[in-house]
Amino acid sequence: MVRISPDQVKKILLNAAAYIPQHPDIFFVNPGRDFSRIKKISLLDTLLFPMVAASDNVRTELLDFFGEDLPPSPSAMIQRRNQLKPAAFEELFHRFTSSVPVSKKFHGLRLFAIDGTRLNLPYNPNDQDTFVKDIKGRRGINQIHFNALYDILNDIFIDKVLQPVHEMNEKAAFSDFLHRYGTDQKVLFIADRGYASYNIFADAIKHHRLFLIRVPESFAMDICKSDDHWLVSDLEDIRVTVHVGRCMKRQNLQLKNYHCIPKKGHYDFIPPGSDAYDALHLRVVKFPISDNSYEYLVTNLEPHAYPLDTVKELYRIRWGIETAFRHLKYAGSMVHLHSIKKDLLLQEIYAKLTLYNFSSFIKTNVEDKVEKATEKYRYKVNHTQIQKICSRFLKGKVSDVMKLIRGLAVPVRPGRSFQRNLRRQSADTLAYR
């Protein structure tokens, strides 16, 4: 594996940023006028500031970014950001992410996890697409649903789909990712039970994609509901053919394991009223996770290449995206928003994703020099602290990243579990405009 230094990762990011001014017609709001004059806030500053702005107000963040020698005003920064389209930050994210080589795979597969989380936005009751008021005595909250495509082993975000909370459709986001990535069978898409549907299974199979999706118990039992012996053992690994159609004609009902999609149900491959049907060849896995609870997985991985223990390990690895969300939102300050306008919010989302990947690339390329093992623990680098160091590295406040990272090793404690304390949060907004 070829290792690249933190300085090389930073150079790749700056090279990606240099692409933006070469195409003003695409990325500038007013081509020919925007960024045509030399000002205190350069184009590069405008791209980097939303990445590194943390949990303080805009004026303080500008002081930290530019130093004490007459930093620009918040108004000046907002005016600069208004000259850039969100597409500029999107292009920077994708161009940078695709420019850094990655090498970690599982049996030759890149593991892409798909999952979603809600992002809280500044309070705006006039935006009915994102406004939620369902708790008595509270004023409401604005939210969007953030669907992410995440490379688990290389710890980087590949893409995202944003949906207003009232238009949330995780299955549509899965299909979107499925069509854009994994053009060969060197990618495995792993998802939780919110993404399970026959339409997704058929979409993946017809486009020759590999998938591993957790399904609810009721979904798993309904796959072969006429079979009294279906999934009765504690440990199951069964291959089954499911027939999917749109009508209740006799010839369809005589098919084994036939499932009729309702007229308003979503199935892209057979029009409503047609008597055609699809045969989906699936593999269903069941295994215990405690005395009285089980996990159910549906996949198209071949049993001879991926036995049951391997499938269980693959789904366990999926948990990495949950940790990544925590690092992105809190260590990466995605919960601290400095904007109200939708275009500027999109800028911040792409900027925070870019910072996360920037930190991950540096972590991946230095971890073998930092991680160690003792008789009691294996130690790994602390991603939260690395993001904070990398933020200062981009600001020019830190030069020797390796020196600081070497002191950030923390022990790995496998098997620990904690009760999840769920609570509704408001946006920790620092909105200016």
Per-residue pLDDT of 384-410, as tens digits, reads 888 888 999 998 888 888 888 777 776
Q: Which is it for strands 187-191 and 210-214: parallel, antiparallel or unpaired?
A: parallel
Higher pLDDT, 120 or 174: 174
The answer as to whether 419 is a domain residue is no
Three-state SS annotation for 58-89: HHHHHHHHHCCCCCCCHHHHHHHHCCECHHHH
Residue 315 sits in the same domain as residue 374: no
Is the per-residue pLDDT at 422 higher than 60?
Answer: no
Q: Which of 297, 321, 345 is the last residue of a domain?
A: 321
Residue 183 sits in the same domain as residue 269: yes
With beta carbons less than 8 A apart as the criterion, state whether 301 and 188 touch.
yes
Residue 221 sits in the same domain as residue 153: yes
Rounded CA separation 382/384 (Å): 6
Residue 244 sits in the same domain as residue 268: yes
Residue 257 sits in the same domain as residue 164: yes
Residue 160 sits in the same domain as residue 239: yes
Q: State the alpha helices, DSSP H only, in 73-154.
A: 74-81, 86-99
The answer as to whether 256 is a domain residue is yes
Residue 248 sits in the same domain as residue 142: yes
Residue 139 sits in the same domain as residue 29: no
The answer as to whether 423 is a domain residue is no
The answer as to whether 267 is a domain residue is yes
The answer as to whether 114 is a domain residue is yes
The answer as to whether 431 is a domain residue is no
**3-class DSSP state of 120:** strand
Cβ partners under 8 Å of residue 24, min gap 6: 31, 32, 34, 35
Confidence of residue 30 (pLDDT cuts 50, 70, 90): very high
Residue 366 sits in the same domain as residue 251: no
The answer as to whether 425 is a domain residue is no
Is the per-residue pLDDT at 424 higher than 70?
Answer: no
Range of the structural domain that residue 12 is part of: 6-95+332-412
pTM: 0.90
Residue 243 sits in the same domain as residue 147: yes
With beta carbons less than 8 A apart as the criterion, state whether 281 and 239 touch.
yes
With beta carbons less than 8 A apart as the criterion, state whether 298 and 225 touch.
no
What does the block give as tokens for 65?
A: 């970014």
Number of domains in the chain: 2
Q: What is the pLDDT of residue 315?
A: 93
Residue 317 sits in the same domain as residue 337: no
Q: What is the pLDDT of residue 432?
A: 59
Residue 154: CA count within 13 A, CB half-sphere = 22
Which DSSP state fits 327?
I
Q: What is the pLDDT of residue 69?
A: 81
Residue 181 sits in the same domain as residue 261: yes
Average pLDDT for the chain: 88
Of 381, 389, 315, the closest CA to residue 359 belongs to 389
The answer as to whether 430 is a domain residue is no
